[in-house]
Structure 1
């Protein structure tokens, strides 16, 4: 599964199968028919209140998938300031530790499977060269 195109229903279904939870139990938890649960498995998106219930039920943070997507595909630009604010000093927090273990594993898998080169990863995801090579040295299998 990809962090680029999140099909949340497939993620939910995979965690349900991994945890071996019966659809009847899920139906009872949500208080909806089993057919509606199956429809959720095919959904590309789900309301946040329902996603929160799934997260609680499965003990899995589905919201992190979206956070990881933002980190990978829409990284923050720490140098950006609005034109009207250019005269004001800008103080930024530390950008360290924004990459979770799942993101690091995802990036390293892209490199190990030759899906992307290190230079492509640095360009596309705006990961600094030193950071990427530290990951490779530390986490490479």
Structure 2
């Protein structure tokens, strides 16, 4: 399954993982300290509060925050844009935008492999350097065939 990193419906993704892990609803409700009805309402929502995301991440042993990180990597403007420049230095940790995880690489290569996007579309839309994309294709070409 390919996650649509552009249109994230977190409730349905969490619900899907609960079903895949074959967790009892009673156990989930007990952990989340909610009723069946409240859980159903939470899982129907597209967006969740960070404390709920954290609890589901712990319960399901899956980093749901990383889905949003992938969205930022794929869809936010490059960090060197002039309107993003600020002379004030923050005390918060600084993260590099161009750190591509294995999941992102697989996502991009699968889009190309299934014909949803061309190489040029990937380069243009996601601002991935041409040399980087071609290195991925060369490096992971055996894995691309395993995906299908």
1:136 alignment counterpart: 137
Which range moves more in the overlay, 109-118 or 35-44?
A: 35-44
* In structure 2, C-alpha distance between the alignment counterparts of 1:32 and 1:52, rounded to whole Å: 15
1:65 alignment counterpart: 67
* In structure 1, C-alpha distance between the alignment counterparts of 2:95 and 2:47, rounded to whole Å: 32
Shift in Å, 1:78? 2.6
Q: Structure 2: which 5+ residue stretches go unaligned?
A: 88-93
Shift in Å, 1:71? 0.3
TM-score (norm 2): 0.82
- Could you list the structure 1 runs, at least 4 aligned residues long, displaced by more than 2 angstroms after superposition: 75-85, 93-97
Shift in Å, 1:139? 1.4
Q: Please give the root-mean-square deviation of Cα atoms over the aligned residues, in Å.
A: 2.2
* In structure 2, C-alpha distance between the alignment counterparts of 1:74 and 1:30, rounded to whole Å: 32
1:38 alignment counterpart: 40
Q: Structure 1: which 5+ residue stretches go unaligned?
A: 86-92
